[in-house]
Structure 1
Amino acid sequence: MIFMDTQKFPIYQKGELSNMLIRFRIITVFLLMIVLHVFPCQILYAATPITLQHDQESYELWDHIDINVDPDGNLGPETLSRVHWEKNIRKVIQYGLTGYTYWMRFTVNNTAGIDSEYYLDTNDTQTEIVELYLATGTSWKLLKQAGRFHPDSFKLWNRPDIPFVPPRGTTTYYLKAASQSYINFEPVLRTPTNYLKKISRYLFLYGAYFSIIVVMILYNTLLFIGMKSKTYAFYVLYLISILGHQFFGEGFGVMFFGAGYLPLYSGITFIAACLFTDSYFENRRNHPLIHRAGIWLMVALGVWSAGSLFIHPQRYAYFITSSIVSTVVYTYVILNCAAAIKAGNKTASFFILGWSGLIIFSAMYLGVIFQIIPANGFTLNGIGIGSVYEAVMLSLALAQQVNISRQEREEAIQRNLDTQTRMAESFARFVPKEFIQFLGRQSIIDIQLGDQIQRTITILFSDIRSFTTFSEKNTPQETIDFLNSYFVSIGPIIRKNRGFVDKYIGDAIMALFPGNPDDAIDAAEEMMHQLDKFNADRTISNRETIRIGIGIHTGECMLGTIGEKDRLETTVIADAVNTASRLEGLNKRFNTTILISQKTLASLKNPGKYHVRDLGLQQVRGKTDKLHIHEIIQQHAQHV
């Protein structure tokens, strides 16, 4: 008989034992879940096979693929059966710049007996090596070599063609992918009809993309030819580099020329971007420090672009170009935009919008490469979307710059015209425009030393009586104020009667009447009437009144410019000028106000409308021959 020590081995009741077993089961299941998650096994993660159907054109493979990562690239078909596999859980099989080799395994169940061809569509353009193997028992067969290192696989479009015919029954396939850049597989098994539909849809989108870029290139090329602006030349260069970058980056280079993408293409694009940015903001003139920094940056980009060709493995060049170099260039662009905003540049808005879009989309694309952002149709085509958006916005920026420049030029031209108009008006106060027109010139700036013309003109001289005495009684300022008030009242009368003031000589006025002599006499009579009003105002304010005398003579005169190149003056030179001046002086002798010569009287068109008194031949000071003179008598005159 065996006795149990109940102190060491307690006896549990039935209910307590049941609860303990439940807790034990829960803990066991939980630990098993942790172990299976940390140490996945092939049986649990084995992918389900694809079953082909007659009425189905495409099969997404991502949920039917097992993956093995081969860091050293040493695995081969003979060793893959002994390695660890993991089931893929991502729709886009995405790996960054690792340089690893990746094996993907999937099984096709063709129990329906379909004997037609299928295409394995990876939707990838960057991978250098893609190989498809068929495993049958212990034997392996290489069905297709594709990727950038096999340009013959790019026959139909810018994606590698991987056609094969699944045998009847259940077969397993191994897909090998190796790349120095990155891998973004979105594997789909397609029938030829479905594959052509996919190609047609994508080529349409690519055609639209390249068409937009080409149109922008042609449009801005025409603007460059018309405007001869180096900014447009640099922008066209930038658009061409973008076109080339996308052409080779999206696999068309392999398709047409057997040449894949290289970091050199990105370097050329970045240099063109810096040239365009520097020219757009006119950094040489507006921001010299940024301009010098841009030159050094472009030199560094050139050295890096050339040197990247000799970096092996190439994934390091891809990494440096896509992360460090692009960040430096985008920082330079942002610095330019910030400086332009600070300087109040009106043309920076569309430029900033364009580059902001490209930077954002490029950041998304870089996020895909470094596995920060999930890969999908939108993020994978970020650079394409961003570059189209940028091309349109930068074209609008250039158009805005042209419009603003044109507006500023028009405003500057208008300001110059306004300035010239004001200057012409100001000069007209010193040189009458009628005098300039006599010389056959459009404006005073056209007048040259020695310009002259001879013509018959009626000359009017007017002088204030006893002005010397008047000046002695008043201060210089009072005298000048008086003269200005007097000339202000008389000048409009002369212009009203189609004459103009040639010059003011102290208190005297010399006016020219190029038309009828009647205009000069009409002006003289109005001047006397205006003098009566002028004196009446002065009498009311208890100020001294004045008297004037007027002499008028008609004769041949020479109008022209005299002086030297740094000091010109317009003048009228003729004996007729002296005669008119002498006639004005005779008013003192005869106690008259308006005297005219016989020649003026004979030249009148309507002499009958004037009251004329013949004063006969009179000796005029400074002249040998006597002069026949006449008085113009004004009725109701108060100034006589």
Structure 2
Amino acid sequence: MRLRLFFSALLFSTAAHSLDFAEYNNAQGAFDLKGHVYYYFEEYNEQQPHEALDLLKGGYFTRSESARLSLGYTRKPVWVAVPFVWKGKGAATFMLEITALIDRIQFNYVSERGLILDSSVTGRDYPLSSRALPNHNFVFPVRIEKPATAAVRGKPAGDSEAPGIVLMRLESQGSMLVPLQLMHETQFYKTDHIEQLVFGFYFGIMLVMVLYNLFLYASTRERSYAFYVFYILFFALFQFALWGYFHEVVLPESPKLAKYLLPVFLHLATVFQLLFATQFFQAQPLIPKQYKVAGLLSFIAFISLIAGPFLPYRIFIAIGIFSGAGAALAIFFMALTLYIKKVKAARYFLIAYTTLIVGVIFLSLRNLGIINYSFISTYSAQIGSALEVILLSLALADKINIWRDEKERAQKQVIDREREMNRAFQLFVPQKFLELAGETDFTRLELGKSTTRDITILFSDIRSFTALSESMSPEENFRFLNSYLRRMGPIIREHGGFIDKFIGDAIMALFAEGPGGPSDGTAKEGVLVPAEDHGGSKPAAGTTPSAPLAEGLGGPSDGTVKEGVLVPAEGPGGPSEPPTIRAARAALAMRAELIRYNEHRRAQGYQAIDIGIGIHTGSVRLGTIGENERWEGTVIGDTVNLASRIESLSSTFHAGIVISEALLKELPHELAARELDTIRVKGKKKAVKVYELMEHDG
């Protein structure tokens, strides 16, 4: 035994002169390990420290120019040696810190004489109690009691130094990433304090984002938020486990479970970030190829997650890393493609994943020694991922704004469409008819529902229309009728009536208590604009196609136009008068308009026409008739039949306007009438007197 120690000391003494020892840097408060780290892949299992020292002396160790070893995935244990020399005065304690991803660490501190002064075993496969310090990383104190004097070593008096070697055997089923730091204990606690603040802030942001988006999901029930909440949650747990905090805080005495959950969190984060991205973008119809790539990556991650308990750990974690990196790149290019396609929702997404990728690149460059250590390079991955989750939350908020704008536009389109439908419906069923039927919404009409009303009914008909129509083509007939009806219809509405139906060239109009329905005429600035005649020609020069209707006999006074509806002023023909008077004034106005219309027709080379009008007032039944597939609003009763019969008498007596005795009793004295005859309606015993309403200039 003594002989072995002697030769070990001799070998160490020889090696000490060939190794490059790291020296303490006062400015950094740590040893500068760059170029002073040696490593060796163990050829056979369980080599002992003294054997590793022999190999170190024999030059079998490889020197690393970086203090951060990145040896990839390896099944072989790795020996790492860190020679250093302390030239300070008095005793000192230093801390060697190693990342939390090593499964097993056999730590040895060897003195200048080759003696093992301190030895311990810990790692991810061991409980937290096996560590020298309860820290999320592996921290090993290196205590130098007292440097040797220079005189002993044959150097100038007054100097002192204490060389030593940290010798470690490392095993890991994951990536062999070994960033080494050997710093003074004061500097270590200062650095550790800053690190705790940084990670506390980082995980605080993650927690706030989880709660914030969880609240939004509860409010909106949008699946994108649910996927995003799970993505942040599992990504934060992955980071919590990656940096050793999960083992330290949550499962200090369950190292195997804490180690296994690391790839589980990574796989779940990958699956949910892909679900989130594809749901957020509605990617399938927009970018089907990239959607399939995202689906493939999700499938790989999900299958690996299910098979995880049966896979070797190194394969499980490797699949998680590659699928996670692939997912980040796939989502980046997905956002880039959609941004190029002018999809507004992609802008925050693109920035978010750019920050994440840039942060990872910075960290990789630092680990490779291409850029120096700094706060930014050290915590670039945390900065990038924190900015990512914040920007993705902004992306979701931005999408809500986009959805809201689209919803408002859609609602406006629906409202506009509904208004158009209502206007179109009113062309067939006037609003006034609905009001008289006791409804304000046509969707609530019921087939067969009816009500009794006192209504004044006006019928008008073009005389000799059959002979007139035979001289015109079907197209000319349509143009003629529409030209005529466009002139007569507005007059009826201006006097508070509404057209119930057109019967060929005939008009059936109703007048009831209250103002009429909205105008569907072409009223402009209080002027009715007539349509072109059946010949399709515009009015001849010198005529006034849009002249106001004459005042006096039922013509509008100084009405105003509101939302396309000509609202008559109070006065003759206005809504304040009873419906009987308004119907009479409307008939007079129609006859006056006929005169102007015939003047226009003659100027266009067409023959004049004549119309007959009949009016009666009384009780009717108003409602809907028809069958399941076809409805019609109408009025029925003796009053309707008598009004139609009276109109037909206008031709017999060559009278323009024929009214019933019941209507005459309701008219003021200025509206003169002469008696025509007494008639008997078929099926009725009582005879009815009829009168001609006299036309005169105002």
TM-score by length of 2: 0.76
Aligned positions, number = 587
| Pair 1:538 & 2:531 matched | no
Contact persistence 1:462–1:550 (CA under 8 A):
yes
| Pair 1:178 & 2:170 matched | yes
| Pair 1:465 & 2:463 matched | yes
Name the aligned partner's letter for residue 274 of structure 2.
Answer: C
Name the aligned partner's letter for residue 207 of structure 1.
Answer: G
Give the drift of 1:360. 4.3
Rounded Cα–Cα distance in structure 1 between residues aligned with 2:484 and 2:22: 114
Rounded Cα–Cα distance in structure 2 between residues aligned with 1:237 and 1:367: 30
User: Of 7, 23, 38, which aligns to 1:67?
Assistant: 38
User: Of 128, 140, 148, which aligns to 2:103?
Assistant: 128
Contact persistence 1:93–1:183 (CA under 8 A):
yes
Aligned to 1:265: 265
Aligned to 1:190: 184
Moved more, 378-387 or 623-632: 378-387
User: Of 363, 368, 385, which aligns to 1:387?
Assistant: 385
Name the aligned partner's letter for residue 133 of structure 1.
Answer: Y
Contact persistence 2:22–2:32 (CA under 8 A):
no
Aligned to 2:406, the other structure's residue is in SS state helix
User: Of 39, 43, 48, which aligns to 1:76?
Assistant: 48
User: Of 563, 566, 569, which aligns to 2:626?
Assistant: 563
Aligned to 2:477: 479
Shift in CA distance, 306/133, structure 1 to aligned 2, threshold 3 Å: farther
Shift in CA distance, 333/636, structure 1 to aligned 2, threshold 3 Å: closer
Rounded Cα–Cα distance in structure 1 between residues aligned with 2:119 and 2:46: 20
Contact persistence 2:461–2:506 (CA under 8 A):
yes
Give the drift of 1:458. 0.8
Aligned to 1:393, the other structure's residue is in SS state helix
Aligned to 2:669: 608
Name the aligned partner's letter for residue 234 of structure 2.
Answer: S
User: Of 648, 655, 663, which aligns to 1:585?
Assistant: 648
Aligned to 2:143: 165
User: Of 275, 299, 323, which aligns to 1:325?
Assistant: 323
Rounded Cα–Cα distance in structure 2 between residues aligned with 1:514 and 1:460: 11
Give the drift of 1:534. 0.7
Name the aligned partner's letter for residue 491 of structure 1.
Answer: G
Aligned to 1:142: 118
Rounded Cα–Cα distance in structure 1 between residues aligned with 2:284 and 2:432: 49
Shift in CA distance, 373/325, structure 1 to aligned 2, threshold 3 Å: farther
User: Of 61, 75, 79, which aligns to 1:102?
Assistant: 79
Aligned to 1:529, the other structure's residue is in SS state helix
Rounded Cα–Cα distance in structure 2 between residues aligned with 1:420 and 1:66: 79
Give the drift of 1:598. 2.3
Contact persistence 1:62–1:88 (CA under 8 A):
no
Aligned to 2:633, the other structure's residue is in SS state strand
- 1:165-564 to 2 correspondences below 5 Å: 165-169=143-147, 170-176=162-168, 178-180=170-172, 181-192=175-186, 194-256=187-249, 257-258=251-252, 259=255, 260-261=258-259, 262-283=262-283, 294-307=294-307, 314-315=313-314, 317-319=316-318, 321-322=320-321, 324-330=322-328, 332-333=330-331, 336-337=334-335, 340=338, 345-362=343-360, 365=363, 371=368, 376=373, 378-379=376-377, 381-515=379-513, 516=578, 517-564=580-627
Moved more, 209-218 or 377-386: 377-386
Rounded Cα–Cα distance in structure 2 between residues aligned with 1:177 and 1:360: 34
Give the drift of 1:625. 1.8
Give the drift of 1:45. 4.9
Q: Which deviations, in whole Å up to 9, do the C-alpha atoms of 1:427-459 show, x marking residues without a partner?
A: 211221211222233333332211222111111
Rounded Cα–Cα distance in structure 1 between residues aligned with 2:328 and 2:597: 78
Name the aligned partner's letter for residue 81 of structure 2.
Answer: M
Contact persistence 1:439–1:560 (CA under 8 A):
yes
Give the drift of 1:189. 1.5
Shift in CA distance, 316/425, structure 1 to aligned 2, threshold 3 Å: closer
Rounded Cα–Cα distance in structure 1 between residues aligned with 2:411 and 2:329: 38
Shift in CA distance, 66/206, structure 1 to aligned 2, threshold 3 Å: closer
Aligned to 1:215, the other structure's residue is in SS state helix
Contact persistence 2:79–2:168 (CA under 8 A):
yes
Rounded Cα–Cα distance in structure 2 between residues aligned with 1:58 and 1:368: 20
Contact persistence 1:104–1:176 (CA under 8 A):
yes
Q: Which deviations, in whole Å up to 9, do the C-alpha atoms of 1:524-581 show, x marking residues without a partner?
A: 1111111111111122233211222221111111111111010111111011111111
Moved more, 415-424 or 493-502: 415-424
Aligned to 2:697: 636
Aligned to 1:22: none
Moved more, 175-184 or 245-254: 175-184
Give the drift of 1:500. 0.6
Shift in CA distance, 376/195, structure 1 to aligned 2, threshold 3 Å: closer
Rounded Cα–Cα distance in structure 1 between residues aligned with 2:484 and 2:427: 16
Contact persistence 2:602–2:608 (CA under 8 A):
yes
Rounded Cα–Cα distance in structure 1 between residues aligned with 2:655 and 2:462: 13
Contact persistence 1:617–1:629 (CA under 8 A):
yes
Contact persistence 1:67–1:105 (CA under 8 A):
yes
Aligned to 2:66: 90
Give the drift of 1:599. 1.9
Rounded Cα–Cα distance in structure 2 between residues aligned with 1:251 and 1:154: 15
TM-score by length of 1: 0.82
Contact persistence 2:108–2:119 (CA under 8 A):
yes
Rounded Cα–Cα distance in structure 2 between residues aligned with 1:619 and 1:268: 92
Contact persistence 1:110–1:168 (CA under 8 A):
no
Moved more, 235-244 or 57-66: 57-66
Q: Which deviations, in whole Å up to 9, do the C-alpha atoms of 1:222-250 show, x marking residues without a partner?
A: 12212222222111111111011100001
Q: CA RMSD in A?
A: 3.3
Rounded Cα–Cα distance in structure 2 between residues aligned with 1:482 and 1:48: 109
Moved more, 452-461 or 595-604: 595-604
Name the aligned partner's letter for residue 135 of structure 1.
Answer: S
Rounded Cα–Cα distance in structure 2 between residues aligned with 1:397 and 1:132: 51
| Pair 1:46 & 2:17 matched | no
| Consecutive unaligned residues in structure 2, runs of 5 or more | 1-14, 148-161, 514-577
Rounded Cα–Cα distance in structure 2 between residues aligned with 1:278 and 1:154: 47
Give the drift of 1:359. 3.7
Shift in CA distance, 305/585, structure 1 to aligned 2, threshold 3 Å: closer
Shift in CA distance, 65/595, structure 1 to aligned 2, threshold 3 Å: same
Aligned to 1:14: none
Rounded Cα–Cα distance in structure 2 between residues aligned with 1:310 and 1:566: 66
Contact persistence 1:133–1:144 (CA under 8 A):
no
Q: Which has the higher helix share?
A: 1
Shift in CA distance, 332/626, structure 1 to aligned 2, threshold 3 Å: same
Name the aligned partner's letter for residue 276 of structure 1.
Answer: F
Identity across aligned pairs (percent)?
27
Rounded Cα–Cα distance in structure 1 between residues aligned with 2:34 and 2:356: 33
